[in-house]
């Protein structure tokens, strides 16, 4: 696991670091709590914080609080507080400040390793739950909720300086595919379309059934149109083989842009892309509208 250690004593830091590295953990050791916190904020791969109560910069309890706040935003940070005293009040304070566990200093190696195994169990469970909650099972893309979360986060950062474009895509006459070849074949088509779409952006979601959304932060509408047209072309040429049947399919796409520093929201953007998609359907399908 990737562990941040906060310990004011340089000897303590060296001993614990060696102990953990000996078991294959990756350790970043800090003397100063404030510096450790900055590192934790900037480094999503950190999964465990092992912090002394008595630290420089900010106190161990403050660090626990701050890490708890980071964890509330969806990242799992398992926090183990360390203190030389064993008084119940210390343990209570640590846990109430957001620590998940407590260990006495200097830590007994086998006890520390056992506590880290408990941390690892929880991290794995958390990762699995996040995957189940955010990932569309069939395509591996973001599900509806995760798409909106990711899009909101990215738009929040991007919108003041750059435009943002979006593409909505819906497979044409999909009901016919299901009716003609069966539901499993329909699923295979959704999966194939998902694969083409996933190459176009980091923020790609399956919003439902055979409908997808692509967010393109920093893209002007003209560039988004090019991407949409490329996608339409790729999909119209693709085939899926199921039980000896070779299935061809097409999709319709709608594109919209919100310009930099505009008042428009993500909902407005997607609504406009959806309206364009509707026009593409009305105009005969297998086309891109804006
Ligand atoms: P249009 O060209 O206007 O988009 O027509 P369409 O037939 O694609 O659209 P419609 O909304 O009428 O039908 C969508 C169908 O998609 C209906 C539903 O049974 C099917 N569907 C929804 N989710 C899934 C899924 O996960 N797998 C499969 N195989 N079918 C699905
Ligand atoms: Mg429809
Ligand atoms: Mg459809
Ligand atoms: Mg649809």
Q: Give the tens place of pLDDT for each residue, 54-74.
A: 777 788 889 999 999 988 877
**How many Å apart are CA 94 and CA 30, to the nearest integer?**
19
Specify the fold of 2-133.
Rossmann fold (3.40.50)
- Point out the ligand nearest to the CA of residue 181: 1
Helix (H, G, I), strand (E, B) or coil at 187: helix
Provide CB contacts within 8 A for 213, sequence distance 6+.
Answer: 147, 151, 166, 167, 168, 169, 204, 205, 207, 270, 273
User: CB within 5 A of ion ligand 4: which residues?
Assistant: 170, 211
- H or E element in which residue 186 lies: helix 183-198
Domain ranges within the chain, ordered by starting residue: 2-133, 144-289
> Taking residues 3-24, what's their average pLDDT?
96
Q: Which candidate in 31, 93, 210, 221 is catalytic?
A: 210
Lookup: tokens for 203: 């923020």
Q: Report CA 40 to chain centroid distance, whole Å.
A: 17
Cβ(18)–Cβ(34) under 8 Å?
no
Kind of pairing between the strands at 48-52 and 26-30 = unpaired
Q: Is 4 strand, coil or helix?
A: strand
Give the distance (Å) from ligand 1 centre to CA of residue 210: 6
Give the confidence band of 119 by pLDDT, cuts at 50, 70, 90. very high
Q: The pTM is what?
A: 0.83
How far does the centroid of ligand 2 lie from the alpha carbon of residue 71, in Å?
39
Superfamily of domain 144-289: Reverse transcriptase/Diguanylate cyclase domain (3.30.70.270)
pLDDT for 159 equals 62
Pocket test for ligand 1, best of 176, 209, 284 (most atoms within 8 A of CB): 209
Distance CA 61, CA 97 (A): 6
Q: Using 50, 70 and 90 to split pLDDT, how confident is the model at 157?
A: low
pLDDT of residue 158: 64
CA 4 to ligand 2 centroid distance, Å? 50
- Report ipTM for this prediction: 0.96
Predicted pLDDT of residue 140: 97
């Amino acid at each position: 696991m990737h562990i941040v250690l906060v310990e004011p004593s340089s000897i303590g830091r060296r001993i614990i670091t060696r102990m953990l590295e000996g078991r294959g953990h990756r350790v970043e050791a800090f003397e100063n709590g404030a510096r450790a916190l900055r590192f934790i904020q900037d480094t999503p791969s950190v999964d465990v914080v092992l912090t002394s109560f008595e630290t420089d910069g900010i106190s161990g309890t403050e660090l626990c609080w701050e890490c708890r706040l980071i964890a509330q935003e969806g990242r799992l940070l398992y926090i183990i507080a360390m203190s030389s005293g064993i008084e119940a009040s210390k343990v209570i304070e640590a846990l109430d400040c957001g620590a998940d566990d407590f260990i006495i200093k200097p830590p007994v190696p086998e006890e520390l390793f056992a506590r880290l195994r408990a941390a690892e169990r929880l991290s794995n469970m958390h990762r699995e739950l996040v995957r189940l909650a955010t990932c569309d099972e069939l395509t591996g893309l973001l599900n509806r909720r995760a798409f909106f979360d990711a899009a909101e986060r990215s738009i929040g950062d991007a919108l003041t300086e750059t435009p943002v474009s979006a593409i909505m895509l819906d497979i044409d006459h999909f009901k016919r595919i299901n009716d003609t070849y069966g539901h499993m074949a329909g699923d295979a088509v959704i999966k194939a379309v998902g694969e083409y779409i996933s190459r176009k952006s980091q923020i790609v979601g399956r919003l439902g059934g055979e409908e997808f959304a692509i967010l393109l932060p920093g893209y002007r509408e003209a560039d988004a149109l090019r991407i949409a047209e490329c996608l339409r072309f790729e999909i119209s040429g693709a085939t899926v083989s199921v039980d000896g049947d070779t299935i061809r399919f097409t999709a319709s796409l709608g594109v919209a842009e919100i310009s930099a520093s505009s008042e428009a929201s993500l909902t407005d953007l997607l609504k406009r892309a959806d309206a364009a998609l509707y026009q593409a359907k009305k105009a005969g399908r297998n086309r891109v509208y804006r």
